[in-house]
């Protein structure tokens, strides 16, 4: 009897064990599938990244999500190092012959002659590849970005692509150079970010989109800075301080005389009364043509990663000025560290550089074109792979701050 009881117990235990294994396998498979679906959504839908990140932060807290982001981006980088190790750097657009600079192209004979006080065609010397033996065709050569509604005009913006990371051919720095003599730059506060830190700021009405009245001369738009919880960086516009300035932060500021500065707050604070607006970021990456000591040493890099380490390979965005403060540079990257972003903007010609934002969904730069023969605009990304919606910055109220660029017309004061 004892032997029979033992024989009956063994099949039951085996069945129980097999059932447990099946359940465990199903749970693991479902988990892997869920992670894969989330990864796909984040990389293909502009709304998915913010939704996932903010939902996780609400449940698990900022520090836990930061560690998870580091883990995910680190794993993605290791996979890329295996799958893409033999891939050459990639080009995204055709570059005309260097013999004829695109910005110097003559105006079509059918066009109206430019006004006598029109700015000269926008030209910049090609910086060349960031790494001469590690580049795609056209790296470091400026290509004109024409206004779709004024295709006959010389461009007011130029673009180039750089590959500054020898270890990663897929690390890309897209740089846009913008002629400040021919454009106007404006910030917009998001409906939620930066968060207000005074009663006056709480009363400030936030539209979170580009004013309709300005869209006739709209050229482009790009993302703003970090969320308040990731550094508490300041912002002021329309005479209202949305968030008070941080003492060591890098600051982008426009003055009443129309000049633009990027510098550490201590360098600019005495002139705050002359500022029309400012927006702060982590400490300046380059200032007065000098690289930040933290980037030189590779220490303290979390300054430029906020919720993720600055050495994390991630999508980033940055902004810079040349020494004469006549050219604005904006960079959007793929799979770069903070140092690679900084080096890319400096190589393009910026002597003062600030990082704006990080993560897959937030950094973006778009131009605008009419839909068909209508006056309705829609955004056009700088290159494939950057998430956006057809209402981006135009009709959808943005929760986070951003910048937009207008054509400067002859009757504009600045």
Instruction: Using CB atoms within 10 Å of the CB of residue 80, give its burial: 0 to 12 exposed, 13 to 18 middle, 19+ buried.
Output: middle
pLDDT (0 to 100) of residue 373: 87
Please provide residue 316's backbone torsions phi and psi, each rounded to the nearest 5 degrees: -135, 165
Token pair in block for residue 99: 């013999």
Poorest-pLDDT segment among 61-65, 144-148, 223-227, 309-313: 61-65
Which three-class secondary structure state does DSSP give residue 49? helix
Q: Are 178 and 327 in contact (CB under 8 A)?
A: yes
pLDDT (0 to 100) of residue 45: 47
Neighbours of 26 (CB within 10 A): 10
Poorest-pLDDT segment among 42-46, 167-171, 382-386: 42-46
User: Who wins on pLDDT, 392 or 77?
Assistant: 392
Neighbours of 275 (CB within 10 A): 17
Please provide residue 254's backbone torsions phi and psi, each rounded to the nearest 5 degrees: -110, 135
Question: What are the extents of the domains in the chain?
Answer: 120-407
Mean model confidence pLDDT for the chain: 83
pLDDT (0 to 100) of residue 132: 86
The tens digit of pLDDT for each residue in 158-193 reads 999 999 999 999 999 999 999 999 999 999 999 999
Q: Are 316 and 336 in contact (CB under 8 A)?
A: yes
pLDDT band at 296; cut points 50, 70, 90: confident
Token pair in block for residue 288: 């007065």
Residue 62 pLDDT > 90: no
Return d(Cα 366, Cα 189) in angstroms, integer: 18
The per-residue DSSP string of 130-168 comes to SSTTS--TTTT--EEE--TT-TTSPPSEEEEEE---TT-
Q: Are 269 and 275 in contact (CB under 8 A)?
A: no
Token pair in block for residue 98: 């260097």
322-325: list long-range contacts, CB under 8 Å, 24+ apart: 322/349, 322/350, 322/351, 323/289, 323/351, 325/180, 325/259, 325/260, 325/261
Determine what percent of the chain is predicted with pLDDT higher than 90: 61
List 366's β-bridge partners, or say none: 221, 381
375-378: list long-range contacts, CB under 8 Å, 24+ apart: 377/215, 377/218
- Kind plus residue range of the DSSP H or E element containing 240: strand 240-243
Q: Which residues contact 11 (CB under 8 A, 6 or more apart)?
A: none
Token pair in block for residue 381: 């990304």
The mean pLDDT value for 33-56 works out to: 48
**The pTM is what?**
0.82
Residue 388 pLDDT > 70: yes
Q: Are 281 and 292 in contact (CB under 8 A)?
A: no
């Amino acid at each position: 009897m004892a032997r029979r009881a033992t024989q009956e117990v063994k099949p039951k235990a085996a069945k129980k064990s097999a059932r447990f294994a099946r359940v465990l396998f199903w749970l693991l498979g479902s988990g892997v599938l869920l992670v894969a679906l989330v990864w796909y959504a984040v990389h293909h839908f502009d709304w998915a990244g913010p939704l996932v990140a903010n939902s996780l932060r609400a449940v698990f807290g900022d520090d836990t999500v930061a560690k998870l982001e580091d883990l995910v981006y680190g794993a993605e980088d290791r996979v890329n190092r295996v799958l893409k190790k033999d891939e050459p750097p990639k080009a995204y657009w055709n570059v005309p012959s260097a013999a004829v600079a695109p910005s110097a192209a003559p105006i079509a004979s059918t066009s109206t002659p430019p006004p006598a006080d029109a700015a000269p065609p926008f030209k910049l010397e090609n910086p060349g590849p960031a790494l001469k033996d590690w580049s795609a065709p056209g790296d470091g050569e400026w290509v004109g970005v024409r206004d779709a509604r004024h295709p006959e005009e010389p461009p007011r913006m130029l673009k180039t692509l750089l590959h500054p990371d020898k270890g990663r051919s897929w690390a890309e720095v897209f740089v846009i150079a913008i002629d400040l003599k021919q454009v106007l730059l404006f910030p917009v506060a998001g409906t939620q970010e930066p968060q207000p830190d005074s009663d006056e700021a709480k009363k400030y009405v936030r539209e979170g989109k580009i004013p309709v009245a300005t869209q006739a001369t709209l050229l482009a738009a790009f993302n703003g800075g970090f969320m308040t919880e990731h550094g508490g960086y300041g912002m002021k516009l329309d005479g209202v301080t949305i968030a008070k300035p941080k003492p060591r932060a890098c600051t982008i500021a426009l003055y009443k005389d129309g000049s633009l500065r990027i510098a550490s707050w201590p360098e600019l604070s005495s002139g705050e009364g002359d500022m029309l607006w400012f927006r702060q970021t982590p400490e300046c990456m380059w200032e007065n043509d000098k690289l930040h000591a933290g980037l030189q040493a590779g220490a303290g890099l979390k300054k430029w990663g906020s919720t993720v380490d600055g050495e994390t390979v991630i999508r980033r965005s940055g902004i810079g000025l040349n020494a004469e403060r006549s050219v604005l540079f904006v960079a959007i990257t793929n799979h770069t560290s903070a140092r690679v972003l900084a080096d890319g903007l400096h190589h393009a010609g910026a002597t003062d550089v600030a990082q704006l934002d990080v993560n897959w969904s937030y950094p973006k730069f778009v131009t605008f074109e009419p839909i068909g023969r209508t006056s309705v605009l829609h955004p056009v990304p700088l290159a494939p792979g950057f998430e956006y919606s057809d209402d981006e910055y135009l009709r959808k109220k943005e929760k986070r701050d951003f910048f937009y660029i207008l054509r400067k017309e002859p009757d504009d004061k600045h």
